[in-house]
Chains A and B, each alone.
Chain A
Amino acid sequence: MANNKLILVVDDDPDLVEAISMKLESKNYRVSKAYDGIEAWDKIQEERPDLIILDVMMPRKDGYELCDELKNNPKYEDITIVLLTAVGSAVTSTRYTHQGGMSTLADDYIAKPIDLDKLMSMIDDFTGQS
């Protein structure tokens, strides 16, 4: 269990954090939780997660900002970041936008509403754990 990857789930909706965490734990990941960008930053320094599932729209410090900070910091740049975007619009969530979304420094992103199975296979691919 100790060798299992640590995933930090960050979203301002505790219910969503709980749902994602339950799914992750069912797949034997270790899970840490935070509810805004500042809290997430503290957790990252404390625990150094392997991967962060990061909501973009949050109070205090949003996901884009935190993502940029981490990816520009040599100490943390190797932590995988998957962004949760709220842009679930039919027009804007098409393939082209997806490519556009990759212009952020994040490693990947998934639009809300989240397909939990898709998110899990994305995480499995990054961590090499299954």
Chain B
Amino acid sequence: MALIEDQTYQPTILVIDDERRIREGCFKILKKENCLVEMAEDGETGLKMLAEKHYDIILTDLMMPGIGGMEVLAKVREQHPDSVSIVITGFATLEHSIEAMKKGAFDFIPKPFTPDQLRVVVSKAVKMTRTLQDIATERTRLKTIVNYLAGGVLVTDRSKNIILYNPALLRMLGYQGDSLNDQPLSALTTDEKLTGIIDGILELNTGEFKVLSAEIEPHERGEGPSNQLYLRAQAVPFQNRSGEILGSVTIIDDITHLKELDEMKSAFVSMVSHEIRSPLSTVLSQIKILMDGLAGELGAKQADILGKISRKVQGLVELSNELLDISRIEAGLIVQDKQQVQLMDILESLVEFIQPKAKEKNIALSLKKADLPLINADMKSMEEVFSNLITNAIIYTPEGGKIDVRGEVKGDFVGISVSDTGYGIAPDELPRIFERFYRAKTEKTRNIVGTGLGLPIVKSIIEAHNGTVKVESEEGVGSTFYVRLPI
């Protein structure tokens, strides 16, 4: 049996025994096994050697004149926690062995022993040494990773004492004091949002896992008004094998750059809003003046062309409107204003509002009334969703068609469907209709003007409300859009 599986590994071993026969016996046997062995003839010499150098394994006699084995064990445990100790004992009583194990011995070997017995015990110790070294390596690796992470890392135990952190964290939170190891969290920060999520994590029940995140109150990084630092913290629990919460791990990201980009985007959005839409609106009014003949009589051909110009400009205005809408929805601005909403009321007034458009095309638009529970939603967004779906249905349904809007409760959801007897959507186009700017085109729908953003807006709004939207359609028969929103 090979004592060491990996032949490139040479464990260092110190044998401490006052009996020369034993000392040298061990030396010979272990040397053959590719170990680097050194010897000490008593406890005192052993301790001196231990103070100078790290040994992977220490074999020590228990009963020695002067400093005994127990003392050696205590010292090893204190100075070399990564070393593995084995006790050699002449009177292998259970009592002594237990005492030695309590002092930190890994194993014991009773005298007299055979070379094979020694090999077995040392072989186990070598494996233990490797494991301890792996753990030490892992710890160093973890420390290196954590220290060089750009994000702040903060680990606390269950009683909110700090057990691990990195320089980035101190930089972000502006901490310049003493070492925080084993210090209470309050020594580092009193930010309510940050301590709030850590408390939230530590209060979790056994086996429960949750990610809590919060934006830390912006604070100044230095001098100057624009030098605000925006931070986002995410906390998770760490658990033992039975799911018990042992502490919290919090990662902090610097989101200042995102905030700045967001501000730039908002500025850009309002630039688009004012600088592009306003002149276009004016152009529409000017065209209207021309078409009304207020700037002189207009020929039929001229009126026709002006009509086309007007529709194109109108399209551009709508496009800029919808681009603004979709960017606002994606920025989460539109669905922030959630309240208890009765969808049936919204549908009722919408259907009434849109009814004239349906009548123009001789389409029977009807709403099947039902008792629906209140849902938590943004009223304007809901109106936008169903206005889009119903208006679409009117646009894509030929004269004399039929549109049914109905609502019902399905488990934990409110389901609203809008079905028409329209042109329908080809199966290959069906999966793409919720994509931005995608527009299904057939001979029948070629002349329908639109931006291709209506359905993406519907989808974004519904998803921002944790709902789903899907469509079923058959060409030449009609389409049905289903919206599901959680109660």
A interface residues with partner B (beta carbon < 8 Å): 13, 15-16, 19-20, 22-23, 26, 57, 86, 88-92, 94-97, 112-114, 116-117
Stretch in contact with the other chain, from B180-188, B205-213, B274-282, B425-433 = B274-282
Asked whether B380 lies within 8 Å of A94 as measured between CB atoms, the reply is: yes
A-B contact pairs, 21 of them (CB 8 A): A15-B286, A19-B282, A22-B289, A22-B295, A57-B274, A86-B273, A86-B274, A89-B324, A89-B328, A90-B321, A90-B325, A91-B329, A91-B334, A91-B384, A94-B387, A95-B383, A112-B281, A114-B281, A114-B284, A114-B285, A116-B289
A13 to B278, CA, bound (A): 9
Which of B282, B295, B387 is A15 in contact with, Cβ under 8 Å? B282
| B349 contacts A by Cβ under 8 Å | yes
A97 to B321, CA, bound (A): 15
| B40 contacts A by Cβ under 8 Å | no
A6 to B384, CA, bound (A): 38
| B199 contacts A by Cβ under 8 Å | no
7 A-B pairs with the lowest CB-CB distances in the bound complex, closest first: A113-B281, A19-B285, A112-B281, A16-B282, A113-B284, A91-B384, A91-B325
Residue picked from B279, B318, B324, most chain A C-beta under 10 Å: B324
Which of B277, B279, B384 is A88 in contact with, Cβ under 8 Å? B277
Chain A residue at minimum C-beta to C-beta distance from B324: A89
Q: A22-B294, A112-B278 are in contact. Are A88 and B317 (CB under 8 A)?
A: yes
| Cβ–Cβ < 8 Å partners of B353 in chain A | 95
Residue picked from A15, A91, A114, A116, most chain B C-beta under 10 Å: A91
Asked whether B381 lies within 8 Å of A23 as measured between CB atoms, the reply is: no
| Cβ–Cβ < 8 Å partners of B278 in chain A | 13, 86, 112
Asked whether A23 lies within 8 Å of B325 as measured between CB atoms, the reply is: no
Which of A15, A22, A90, A116 is B384 in contact with, Cβ under 8 Å? A90
| Cβ–Cβ < 8 Å partners of B322 in chain A | 90
| B379 contacts A by Cβ under 8 Å | yes
Q: Give min CB distance, A95 to chain B, whole Å.
A: 6
Asked whether A94 lies within 8 Å of B292 as measured between CB atoms, the reply is: no
Which of B274, B285, B295, B380 is A92 in contact with, Cβ under 8 Å? B380
Chain A residue at minimum C-beta to C-beta distance from B284: A113
| Cβ–Cβ < 8 Å partners of A89 in chain B | 321, 324-325, 328
Chain A residue at minimum C-beta to C-beta distance from B388: A90
| Cβ–Cβ < 8 Å partners of B274 in chain A | 57, 86
Asked whether B282 lies within 8 Å of A13 as measured between CB atoms, the reply is: yes
A26 to B288, CA, bound (A): 13
Asked whether B383 lies within 8 Å of A94 as measured between CB atoms, the reply is: yes
| Cβ–Cβ < 8 Å partners of A112 in chain B | 277-278, 281
| Cβ–Cβ < 8 Å partners of B329 in chain A | 91
| B12 contacts A by Cβ under 8 Å | no
A15 to B279, CA, bound (A): 9
| Cβ–Cβ < 8 Å partners of B387 in chain A | 94
Chain B residue at minimum C-beta to C-beta distance from A119: B285
A95 to B348, CA, bound (A): 13
Q: A23-B292, A86-B278, A90-B322 are in contact. Are A113 and B381 (CB under 8 A)?
A: no
| B314 contacts A by Cβ under 8 Å | yes
Interface string of B302-316 (1 = CB under 8 A from A): 000000000000100
| Cβ–Cβ < 8 Å partners of A23 in chain B | 288-289, 292, 294
Chain B residue at minimum C-beta to C-beta distance from A87: B273
A22 to B292, CA, bound (A): 10
Asked whether A88 lies within 8 Å of B328 as measured between CB atoms, the reply is: no
Interface string of B120-160 (1 = CB under 8 A from A): 00000000000000000000000000000000000000000
Chain B residue at minimum C-beta to C-beta distance from A20: B285
Chain A residue at minimum C-beta to C-beta distance from B453: A90
Interface string of B364-403 (1 = CB under 8 A from A): 0000000000000001110110010000000000000000
Asked whether A113 lies within 8 Å of B317 as measured between CB atoms, the reply is: yes
Which of B285, B292, B294, B317 is A16 in contact with, Cβ under 8 Å? B285
Chain B residue at minimum C-beta to C-beta distance from A92: B380
Chain B residue at minimum C-beta to C-beta distance from A117: B288
| Cβ–Cβ < 8 Å partners of A92 in chain B | 380
Interface residues of B in 326-354 (CB under 8 A from A): 328-329, 334, 349, 353
| Cβ–Cβ < 8 Å partners of B457 in chain A | 90-91
Chain A residue at minimum C-beta to C-beta distance from B379: A96
| Cβ–Cβ < 8 Å partners of B277 in chain A | 86, 88, 112-113
Which of A20, A91, A113 is B280 in contact with, Cβ under 8 Å? A113
| Cβ–Cβ < 8 Å partners of B279 in chain A | 13
Which of B294, B318, B349 is A95 in contact with, Cβ under 8 Å? B349
A19 to B282, CA, bound (A): 8
